[in-house]
Amino acid sequence: MKHNGTLIKEDNNYKKKSKTLYIESYGCQMNFSDSEIVASILKKKGITTTKDISTADLVFVNTCSIREKAEQTVRKRLEFYNSIKRDQNPKMIVGVLGCMAERLKAKFLEEEKLVDIVVGPDAYRDLPNLIKEVEDGKKAVNVILSLEETYAEINPVRLGGNGVTAFVSITRGCDNMCSFCVVPFTRGRERSRNPQIIIKECKKLFDNGYREVTLLGQNVDSYLWFGGKAKKEFKNANQYEKNNKIVFSKLLELVAQINPLLRVRFSTSNPQDMGIDVIDTISKYNNICNYIHLPVQSGSNRILKLMNRGYTKEKYINLIDNIKRKIPDCAISMDMIIGFCSETNNDHDETLSLMEYVKYDFGYMFKYSERPNTPAARLKDDISDQIKQERLSEIIDKQQMHSLGHMKDKIGKTFEVLIEGISKKSSTNYYGRTTHNSTVIFEKDHHKIGEYVMVKINDCTSATLKGKVI
Ligand code: 5AD
Ligand code: SF4
């Protein structure tokens, strides 16, 4: 109780000073979602967000470690903050949040003299205390990973959003241990968020005018909730199955049932965990978008094995065939890594042939980047940068051709589009997306952001559709 009393006193202190937070996010959607959780935790302490770095009391950067390049980007930002601190805002407190904080821990404080706070993805509730420590003249670190933390009841502050689309986090962490990936180390063990709270959050978003939610997790298909109990607490499998187990397809259905006008998306699926039940649920509900992001990483079985992906090319193709059979109009995208340890021309050809088979609608393609302490770091990163670059260019060209093909197929057809905002290029145009996640640009006319309109497509590039509301 006494402890609570102290906290309330701190509350008042924060309120009186009315501090401001400037927060930038890098990396995946989960990081952007986490920044909204951070903003919510600090808002309760009277700290509000600002877009003006030169006057902010707190400057936080939510970081990504997925590739070396992502880390370099953050280091450049830290240099920039340093210059602001030196020239304009000497009192600002700089915090490094997220995956890089988790990976480098206290080393950050030694390497980057300007950093005051280092906080990992599971320790955001501790931020008010960490800020206090810095104000008392110390440097503050909390990088403890948790087996339970899901920030379940925290209602995120929607940062810089359009008021129409929102991310809702459903799981945290990852247990898959792909050999190239730093995530299991930076985000810890996998855990699922209480479904009732997820539904409540989505309902509230809908009531506040939002028309699309994206359910987020490193591996959404392994979402699992059984009243907060561990599987081993059940005496037998039957009892466990009966105990109101909620799997991802069920959660997806519950969210889709909130309102037919609420679009539902999700990311990311893992081919080794995505079940036929998820595909069936997508095909059953009109408001679950016909778009699946299904990272494959390689088309070579030998490389998939080295990557510890838990599926073969044949199993992946079977999944794709099932998707195309059950949801004929489904857009599919992928992540691909080229130049993984020991990748031969032959392996690369297998990747090209898989791309040719699937003809993805979109693709996110990367050169392999060795991450310290991952299982793959024990293998030799033996593909030269030149070969990596050549292979990357080749798959990017192929993907662009496929993307353009899919876009061209849409010309002359009409699609339902959710209006998300005013086009960056022209203030007389809106942008929105089709169910397939294709961006469409069209004239505003009398329509409003957040409305659904039917748009007939008359032109395209490999990335954008253009059309007219009918
Ligand atoms: N090097 C290159 N790309 C990576 N990814 C994950 N780890 C690495 C790495 N070490 C890619 C994968 C993943 C996406 C989010 O980032 O394709 O799906
Ligand atoms: Fe980057 Fe992965 Fe962390 Fe997301 S989870 S921020 S992609 S390292």
Cβ(449)–Cβ(163) below 8 Å = yes
Q: By alpha-carbon position, which residue is closest to atom 1 of ligand 2?
A: 64
Structural contact between residues 270 and 176, judged by C-beta atoms closer than 8 angstroms: yes
Three-state DSSP class for residue 53: coil
Atom of ligand 2 nearest to the CA of 26: 6
| Distance (Å, whole) CA 171 – CA 266 | 11
Position in ligand 1 atom list of the atom nearest CA 66: 7
Does the Cβ of 178 fall within 6 Å of ligand 2? no
Task: Output the pLDDT for position 114.
Answer: 84
In the reported structure, the alpha carbon of residue 453 is separated from the centroid of ligand 2 by a whole-number distance in angstroms of: 35
Tell me how crowded residue 458 is: count the other CB atoms within 10 A of its CB: 12
Alpha carbon distance 252, 285 (integer Å):
10
Q: Which one, of 405, 413, 421, 404, lies nearest residue 468 by Cα?
A: 413
| Pairing mode of beta strands 165-169, 117-119 | unpaired
CB of residue 65 inside a 6 A radius of ligand 2? yes
Q: Is 176 in the pocket of ligand 1 (CB under 6 A)?
A: no
| CB of 330 sitting under 6 A from ligand 2 | no
Considering every ligand atom shown, identify the ligand nearest to the alpha carbon of residue 339 and give its number: 1
Q: Is the CB of 297 under 6 A from ligand 1?
A: yes
- CA 222, 28, 450, 445 torsion-angle sign: negative
Cα-to-centroid distance, 354 and ligand 1 (Å): 18
pLDDT number for residue 235: 64
371 lines ligand 1 (CB under 6 A): yes
Residue 2 burial (10 A CB sphere; 0-12, 13-18, 19+): exposed
Q: How far is CA 334 from CA 198, 224, 365, in A?
A: 26, 24, 8
What residue spans of 214-289 are helical by DSSP H?
237-242, 248-256, 276-284
Domains of the chain, earliest start first:
2-142 (3.40.50.2300), 178-289 (3.30.750.210), 300-307+327-409 (3.30.750.200), 414-469 (2.40.50.140)
Using the mean position of ligand 2's atoms as its centre, give its distance from the Cα of residue 443 in Å.
Answer: 36
- pLDDT value at residue 239: 64
Q: Which atom of ligand 2 is nearest to the CA of 186?
A: 3
- Which helix (H) or strand (E) element contains residue 9? helix 2-17
Which atom of ligand 2 is found nearest the CA of 218? 5
Ligand 1 contacts CB of residue 363 (under 6 A): no
Dist. CA 252–CA 288, nearest whole Å: 8
Summarised one tens digit per residue, pLDDT across range 151-204 is 999 999 999 789 999 999 999 999 999 999 999 999 999 999 999 999 999 999
- Residue 60: the pLDDT is 98
Looking at ligand 2, which atom is closest to the CA of residue 30? Answer: 4
Between CA 172 and CA 174 the distance in angstroms is: 7
> What single-letter DSSP state applies at residue 160?
S
The answer to whether the CB of 394 falls within 8 A of the CB of 366 is no
- Tens place of pLDDT per residue across the chain (470 aa): 334 333 334 444 444 558 999 999 999 999 999 999 999 999 999 999 999 999 999 999 999 999 999 999 999 999 999 999 999 999 999 999 999 999 999 898 888 788 999 999 999 999 999 999 999 999 999 999 999 999 999 999 999 789 999 999 999 999 999 999 999 999 999 999 999 999 999 999 999 999 999 999 999 999 999 875 655 666 666 666 666 789 999 999 999 999 999 999 999 999 999 999 999 999 999 999 999 999 999 999 999 999 999 999 999 999 999 999 999 999 999 999 999 999 999 999 999 999 999 999 999 999 999 999 999 999 999 999 999 999 999 999 999 999 999 999 999 999 999 999 999 999 999 999 999 999 999 999 999 999 999 999 999 998 999 999 99
381 close to ligand 1 (CB < 6 Angstrom): no
Of ligand 2's atoms, which has the minimum distance to the CA of residue 29?
4
C-alpha of residue 49 to centroid of ligand 2, in Å: 23
Reading the block at residue 19, the tokens are 């501090």
Q: Which residues contact 53 (CB under 8 A, 6 or more apart)?
A: 22, 59, 81, 84, 89
Pairing of strands 414-422, 452-460: antiparallel
